[in-house]
Structure 1
Amino acid sequence: MIRPVRGWLAWAAAGDRRRTLSTTTRSTSVHGRSPWLIVGQSAAALAAGIGVGRFVYTPILPLMHAQAGLSAELGASLATANYIGYLTGALAGTFVPALVRSVVVLRGSLVILIATLAMMPVSHDGAVWFGLRLIAGVASALIFVIAVSSALTRLRGQVQHLTGWAFGGVGAGIALSGLLVLLLRTATTWQAAWWSCAALATVLAAAAWGLAPVPQPAPTDQAVSADRPRTRRWFWPLFGSYTFEGIGYIIAGTFLVAAIEQGVPGPVGSGAWILVGLAALPSSALWAWLAHRWSRPSLLFAALAIQVVGVALPALLGGVAPALISAVLFGGTFMGVSTLALAIGTHLQGPRSVSLLTAGYSAGQILGPMLAAPLLQHGYRQALLLGGVVVLAAVLAAIGVWIRYPQVRAPFPTPLDTPSRP
């Protein structure tokens, strides 16, 4: 995954020199296909692979607690299994680049993902659930890296917001699956929720079936603009901030609905999760637009500070309004933080900076549920407080990135440029 993505990032850095060729590029980048068709297919793949395949567990978790006897500790373990599988799939895309360009792998991963969703209700065995969520994580990662590679390659030369809307498919998948679970929760069982979401993933997979990545050679280092800074002074604070973000964001991403429903019984938790998806849908395009007006480190600081409020608010204040505000703040920032951090890392040009940031963020996502697990016996609010504290640590580390950061005018990279994203 890293090779094609880093190639695109190098292309973005040289954007000013290539703008004169934009007309030619636009006519060939989509190979005669409508760019909005590519946006739609990429968004559908990301909605199936990430929005449903990875995050549908969050709104279904309270149903499994109530109806399937799932303990809080096992619930955290299943989340960890999915993140381990996701990291495994992401690394496979990194070290075997041919996977990123394979239509067969994309379609096979979609089928496998749907099967794992449909098989969750078949058993009550925790070990079976663990294995299914592990496999689902691998499939989600491969879908993600292939969809991203295809979008970045085929939309090259198009206006930047197009790719941002493609990645909005993650938010669309979260919103659609959350709405489906909300509609089903009072009328049916947790098994039907899994099967219905498998059907939703099938529809999305059918919409994405025609998506096909194209071969893309990696540009040489000479493609990088010579006026960009070659310093690592700001990298390690960035690495720390992004790793803390991986820990804190995934705690909220896993337990937010369950925490809200502890304080506000009923459909508010599922409704809040729908708002998370709706807020995430336009966020990639929005943060890219803001980066043309303010510096990336200042925006990273702001996004993380907003996310602290979004993560901790339901733990500090009960009621419907804090829950819904939390959902909007969290959904509108978690994709933006990743977008900004990876753009800054690319700008600094440290050796394998994108790979290192990816590793830290992915490790944080595995570590988050493990750190929260001991607190779950006292309820989910304590877990959200922990998540807020960890994201606050990310805010403090981001200050070290902001101080005397070397500025340069360059196009804003498209978000989700590594497999560490949601």
Structure 2
Amino acid sequence: MTPMSLPGRRQASAAGRLRQPTAGWGLAGQGAAALAAGMGVGRFVYTPILPLMQLSPRVGAGLATANYLGYLLGAVITIAAPPLVRSRLVLRAALVVLVATLALMPTATTWWPALRLLAGVASALIFVGASTTMLTTLSPHLVGWSIGGVGAGIALSGVAVLAVHTWQQAWWTATALAAVLTAIAWRLPAATPPATHRQPRPTPAGRRSFAVALTSYSLEGVGYIIAGTFLVAAIDQSVPGHAGTAAWILVGLAALPSSAFWAWLSHKHSRRGLLVSALVLQSFGIALPAVLGGVVPALLSAALFGATFLGINTTVLAIGAELRIPRAVAILTTGYSIGQVLGPLAVNPLLHNGYRLPLLLGAALVALAATTATFLTNQES
């Protein structure tokens, strides 16, 4: 995932840009629907569908890599062409393209890598465009809940897959779900241009801390995406029935309030401490189903993963914004996206023996990210 920095909302004028409460909730709902379609369904529905497709682990990893590569490409496009971020036409086109790629998955099997790559590009354009609108028009409280739309989409995608019997039906159901969410998000306005102001120059200590943050966040990108891709398949290997899909629904439900929750905690505790804590919890959650079998460890793993991944995104990007590095969010997002591309490639040699070793590697990388984050300098305390 690559949520935009919550501190970016400070660029907006509170008096002129924040919507009235009722209108604000309506706008937050439209933004949440866009994020649910672009991320929760368009990007992550592949995770619960993967076991139904009965692909070899290596083929499954290859398709995941294509999607993450597309997402990286989309993120780079938004950096190279900033006006695209603030275009309603681009947002709508990306939503339509996303729905089309989902609809083609059951029939155009030879085009799967291209379809997942294109879906990744569309997801990035949707996420950055919708998030920018949220950050420049809503209060911090509503921003947190709108970003929680990613979690809502994950939960809805899990429910949709649970209700079908074949992988073809799963993709068609995901298509219908994404189409409904697109209709809800269709009237989402373009983002307000940010106020122009002179940025303070970063300090040498700030540059060093930023290098630490970038390293930690990139490691998190590698480790988190291993679990985000293979968690359901790993649980399904060890627990009979629909435990894997149920766990994925729990991931989404836990993620729904997590962005708002971690943002609220940042007013009471240092972001460095929160980042380290969230990474440690996530590492433990990723390792749990690889070490212990059964339904309870699987559900606990899902809850910890869902409760932390959006919180880690928003916290580390908030730290980056505080360090006064030009284009900090763009640089951190790129590092995170590169990590997501590398994740499936890193575990590919381990997949011939199932998913236990990949999950342990993912947990180790997230633990390394937590260790790296301890070297951050507290900027806010």
* TM-score (ref. length: structure 1): 0.85
Q: Do structure 1's residue 60 and structure 2's residue 49 form an aligned pair?
A: yes
Q: SS of the residue aligned with 2:109?
A: coil
Query: Is contact 1:81-1:134 (8 Å) kept?
Result: yes
CA RMSD of aligned residues (A): 2.2
Asked whether the 8 Å contact 1:229–1:348 carries over to 2, the reply is: no
Q: Among residues 109, 123, 144, which one is paired with 1:140 in the alignment?
A: 123
The alpha-carbon distance between structure 1 residues 140 and 290, as it changes in their structure 2 partners (threshold 3 A), is same
**Is 1:332 matched with 2:281?**
no
| Contact in 1 for aligned 2:285/2:304 (Cα 8 Å) | yes
Looking at structure 2, the residues matched to 377 and 258 of structure 1 have their Cα atoms a distance apart, in angstroms, of 14
1:131 aligns with one of 102, 108, 114 = 114
* 1:196 matched residue in structure 2: 173
Match of 1:416 in 2: none
**Deviation by residue 1:147-181 (Cα, 9 ceiling, x = unmatched):** 011111221xx3x2111000010000000010110
The match for 2:148 among 129, 152, 168 is: 168
Unaligned 5+ runs, structure 1: 409-422
How far did 1:218 drift?
4.7
What per-residue deviation string (whole Å, max 9, x for no partner) do you get for residues 195-238 of structure 1? 0110000000000011011440452225x6x9999722322221
| 1:345 Cα deviation from its structure 2 partner | 1.1
**Whole-angstrom distance in 2 between the partners of 1:250 and 1:231:** 28
Distance 2:119 2:237 in 1: 28
Taking a change above 3 Å as real, the CA distance of residues 137 and 316 of structure 1, as seen in their structure-2 partners, is same
Q: Encode CA deviations 1:289-336: one digit per residue, 9 max, x unaligned.
A: 111111000000100000011110000000000000000000000111
Indicate the residue corresponding to 1:219 in structure 2.
196
Q: Distance in 1 between matches of 2:204 and 2:154?
A: 38
Per-residue CA distance 1:51-71 (angstroms, 9 max, x = gap): 000000000000001xxxx22
Q: Which residue of 2 aligns with 1:390?
A: 365
Aligned equivalents of 2:371, 2:7: Cα separation in 1: 27
| Structural mapping, 1:164-313, within 5 Å | 164-184=144-164, 188-222=165-199, 231-313=206-288
Pair 1:284–1:104, CA change in 2 (3 A): same
Provide the residue aligned with 1:405 in structure 2. Answer: 378
Identity of aligned residues (%): 56
Query: Which residue is equivalent to 1:99?
Result: 84
Give the drift of 1:10.
5.8
Measured in 2, the distance between the counterparts of 1:230 and 1:216 equals 31
Write the distance in 1 (CA, Å) between the matches of 2:99 and 2:297. 34
CA distance in 2, matches of 1:103, 1:320: 44
Displacement after TM superposition at 1:374 (Å): 1.0
CA contact (8 A) 1:229 1:347 kept: no
CA contact (8 A) 1:39 1:163 kept: yes
What does residue 420 of structure 1 align with? none
Cα distance in 1 for partners of 2:106, 2:202 equals 56
Residue 9 of structure 1: how far off its partner (Å)? 3.7
Query: Which 10-residue stretch deviates more, 254-263 or 346-355?
Result: 346-355
Distance between the aligned counterparts of 2:36 and 2:9, measured in 1?
A: 27
Conserved 8 A contact 1:85-1:135: yes
Separation in structure 2 between the aligned mates of residue 233 and residue 85 of structure 1, nearest angstrom? 30
2:194 and 2:379 map into 1 onto residues whose CA distance is 30
Partner Cα distance (2:370, 2:232) in 1:
24
| Paired residue type of 1:144 | F
Cα 1:145–1:246 shift into 2, 3 Å: same
**Match 1:320 to one of 276, 295, 317:** 295
Counterpart Cα distance in 1 of 2:205 and 2:9:
17
- Given the superposition, is the C-alpha separation of residues 392 and 11 from structure 1 closer, same or farther in structure 2, using an over 3 Å criterion? closer
Distance 1:324 1:80, change over 3 A: same
Q: Deviations over 1:256-313 (max 9, x none)?
A: 0000001002100000000000000000000011111110000001000000111100
Shift of 1:105: 1.1
**Deviation at 1:351?**
3.9
**Structure-2 separation of matches of 1:85 and 1:133:** 8
- The higher radius of gyration belongs to 1
Kindly indicate whether the alpha-carbon contact (under 8 Å) linking 1:279 and 1:332 is maintained by their aligned counterparts in 2: yes
Q: Which runs of 5+ in 2 are unaligned?
A: none
Alpha-carbon offset, residue 32 of structure 1: 10
In the TM superposition, what whole-angstrom CA distance separates every residue of 1:121-161 from its partner, at most 9, and x where no partner exists? 10333xx1000000100111111111011111221xx3x21
d(CA) in 1 for partners of 2:354, 2:301: 18
Distance 1:273 1:340, change over 3 A: same
Question: Is contact 1:168–1:282 with CA below 8 Å preserved after alignment?
Answer: yes
